Amino acid sequence: MLITERVFQGILEKLVDGATIKTVLSEQKINTYDFYKYLYENPFHLAQFEAAQTFKADIFVEDTIDIADNEPDASKAKNRIFARHWYASKIRPARYGERIDINVTKTIDIKQALSDAKQRVIDVNATHLRPMCDLESNPKNQNIDINSDLNSGNTGYKPVTPPQNDEDIFE
């Protein structure tokens, strides 16, 4: 059968209504090979066919709510819903697919990021490295100056002196 514009538009309408391409083509007595050959010879009609398939996927997803609400047999409803979701995920994977695709387009200057991180470490006050309760309970705790120049031999080490008490604590 010759595919005319009117026949083609009728096929698209039936596809959007939920019919399969095989069913529609057999009703119209059109060979599947001839139909796809016609599509690839007519890019405008190919684009219309692809758009119809996309609309069909959207309609199938919306149909799942009606199926879930109105189908008395739960197992049949589950199968019908699964089939429609599967179809939609293949036709419109970006919207209904289960694969998550994350594309990052931002670039980072590693040298600058490392410099910023180093500066944040240097800016931290040494008292933040010890728990505050530890500092309050023993006022003679050793403080470490992380800003000291390690190359000059000054490590910031300050020895802790014993209490100036002459009493022997073991007697």
Binned at pLDDT 50, 70 and 90, residue 48 comes out as very high
Question: Within 10 Å of residue 126's Cβ, how many Cβ atoms?
Answer: 13
Question: Distance of CA 44 to CAs 8, 28, 37, 108, Å?
Answer: 12, 21, 13, 43
Prediction pTM value: 0.53
Burial class (CB in 10 A: 0-12, 13-18, 19+), 11: buried
| Alpha-carbon 26 to chain mean position | 42
Binned at pLDDT 50, 70 and 90, residue 167 comes out as low
What percentage of the chain carries pLDDT values higher than 70? 70
Binned at pLDDT 50, 70 and 90, residue 117 comes out as confident
Question: Which pLDDT belongs to residue 94?
Answer: 81
Calpha distance 19→60 (Å, rounded): 11
The full set of domain ranges for the chain reads 110-152
